[in-house]
Amino acid sequence: TFNYQSDRLYAAIVLSSSLSIALFCLVVLVERRIIRY
């Protein structure tokens, strides 16, 4: 069960990191669009 738990923890870390990266990209795109206009 320890391996399963560590796999779940790793998946959660990857998911949260990818989510934060997606949010960062969204903010950068919005800022670029605002600066253009």
Tokens of 17: 């990191």
Mean pLDDT score across all residues of the chain: 89
pTM: 0.62
pLDDT at 34: 87
pLDDT at 1: 56
* pLDDT > 70? residue 2: no
Domain map (residue ranges) of the chain: 1-37
pLDDT at 29: 94
State the greatest distance between any 2 C-alpha atoms of the chain, in Å, as a whole number.
Answer: 54
Instruction: Look up tokens 């600066």; give the residue.
Output: 35
CA 7 distance to own-chain centroid: 18
Q: Which of 33, 11, 34, 14 is nearest to 22 (CA)?
A: 14
Alpha helices (H) in 1-37, listed in sequence order: 2-36
φ/ψ of 28, rounded to 5, equals: -65, -45
pLDDT tens-digit profile of 10-25? 999 999 999 999 999 9
